[in-house]
Amino acid sequence: MKTFKFGIWLLVSLVVILSAALAGACSQPAATTQSATSAITTSQAATTAAATSTEVIELTLTTLNPEPSNEVERGNQFTPVWIDEVERVTNGRVKITTYWSNTLAGPMEHYDAAANGRADIANMYTMMTPGQFPMTDVFTVPSPDFVSAHKSRIWWELYQKYSEDMNKEYANTKLLTVEVNGSYAGLLSSKPIDSLDDLKGLKVQAPGTWITKFMQSIGASPVALPQTDVYMALQTGVVDASLANWIFMPPPNEGGQGWGELAKYYTEIDLFDTPFYMVMNLDKWNTLPAEVQQQIEDLNQTYVDKIDEIDWRRQIELRAYSLKAYSNEPVWLTAEELTKWKTAFSPIQNEFAADLDSKGLPGTAFLQDYLSLCEKYKLTDYSELANYYSTN
């Protein structure tokens, strides 16, 4: 009887052991299948990520500038040079389609086009929308003793220090890079202007709030005109003089706009500068891969120096072209007269700072930092500028 019971116990044990073994054997393939599925999923994710990391990012840009007609022009202008540089530093991942000559947005609509997403990027000068860029307007405040070949660098350094306040001017966008076009704007006129008294009663094209205030303060009649209308205004007598950079003076076949044909004299003085922005829709910027954002950020740390170099080289070349083509005559202020102009500018500078202060912005400190940077980066003393031009 004991032997029989032992046999039954042994048989049951064997069944249990065999069942466990079979269960283990059956479960093993299921575990292998799960691992394989997981591996496939991981591989697919990696492939998708790799594809995303090399996917071309298509962006649109709106600008008032005309499309360059040749490679020489393309290499000498702020907008196309920046586009080419972005495509280069991103290894072709970013491609920008440009809408030239206000074809996507009107002259006063470029910034809003980027802010509301109608365009991804906008390039325009700040004076087209008066009052929108109160701090950036510092470049339109006269500062005659500070001719500089590094105005874009000055803007970028100011922005690094005052970005929290200046970003309020660029709401809903990301400020990508900046340019202060050329070096300075002097006075183009049909009669020589070598004193403040010569401006009294003259109709002067004067874009921007602060140069308008200055012209009014000395008895001139400021006329607000966009650059595209200046040639006709000079030709028809709508204005007697215009604020102008040398880059507008030569014939069109030499890269200018022919303004020098209509007015013989050019008073060499730094009345104001023209700041251009390059902004991107903020939501679009936030969708860019982190590495692309970093590539663009890194580019912009040095791009301002590159565009300053290009602009100043053009300033020298186009000045020479205009003098040759139209026999324009530079007018230089005496030291005594320069002091009078600086004295007349001082109240305008103070009013600019006070206006910012009244808006809760650091106007006084900001203006002082601007003037200090102008001193730091000035090309040469005014008295030496004529000699500089003759040797460069």
Q: Say which range, 24-28, 55-59, 128-132, 200-204, has the weakest mean pLDDT.
A: 24-28
Q: Which two tokens stand for residue 19?
A: 């069942």
According to DSSP, the β-strands at 121-125 and 221-223 are unpaired
User: Can you give the pLDDT at residue 130?
Assistant: 85
Residue 11 falls inside a structural domain: no
**Domain range for 254:** 55-390
User: Can you give the pLDDT at residue 63?
Assistant: 96
User: Can you give the pLDDT at residue 183?
Assistant: 61
**Domain count within the chain:** 1
**Residue 277 near residue 126, CB atoms below 8 Å:** yes
Decide if pLDDT at 386 tops 90: no
User: Can you give the pLDDT at residue 384?
Assistant: 86
Instruction: Summarize pLDDT for 228-247 with one digit per residue, the tens.
Output: 789 999 999 999 999 988 88
Residue 20 falls inside a structural domain: no
Decide if pLDDT at 383 tops 70: yes
Residue 40 falls inside a structural domain: no
φ/ψ (deg, to 5) at 360 = 80, 15
φ/ψ (deg, to 5) at 380 = -165, 170
Pick 286 or 316 by higher pLDDT: 286
User: Can you give the pLDDT at residue 23?
Assistant: 45
> Percent of the chain, pLDDT > 70?
85
User: Can you give the pLDDT at residue 263?
Assistant: 92
Residue 31 falls inside a structural domain: no
Quick one: CA torsion of 295, 300, 302, 308, rounded to 10 degrees? Answer: 150
Decide if pLDDT at 282 tops 70: yes
Q: Which two tokens stand for residue 357?
A: 């202060």
CATH code of the domain in which 179 resides = 3.40.190.170
Instruction: Summarize pLDDT for 167-188 with one digit per residue, the tens.
Output: 999 999 999 999 997 667 899 9
Pick 298 or 75 by higher pLDDT: 298
Instruction: Summarize pLDDT for 186-216 with one digit per residue, the tens.
Output: 999 999 999 999 999 999 998 889 999 999 9
Residue 8 falls inside a structural domain: no
Is the pTM here over 0.85, yes or no? no
Instruction: Summarize pLDDT for 332-369 with one digit per residue, the tens.
Output: 999 999 999 999 999 999 999 999 999 999 999 999 99
Residue 7 falls inside a structural domain: no
Residue 32 falls inside a structural domain: no
Instruction: Work out the mean pLDDT of the chain and round it to a whole number.
Output: 85
| Strand-pair partners of 121 | 61, 280
* Residue 106 half-sphere exposure toward CB, CA atoms < 13 A: 4
The residues, ordered by sequence, that sit 6+ positions from 149 with a Cβ below 8 Å of its Cβ are 183, 308, 309, 311, 312, 315, 377, 379
Q: How far is CA 162 from CA 159, 169, 244, 296, in A?
A: 5, 11, 29, 20
Residue 252 falls inside a structural domain: yes
Pick 389 or 3 by higher pLDDT: 389
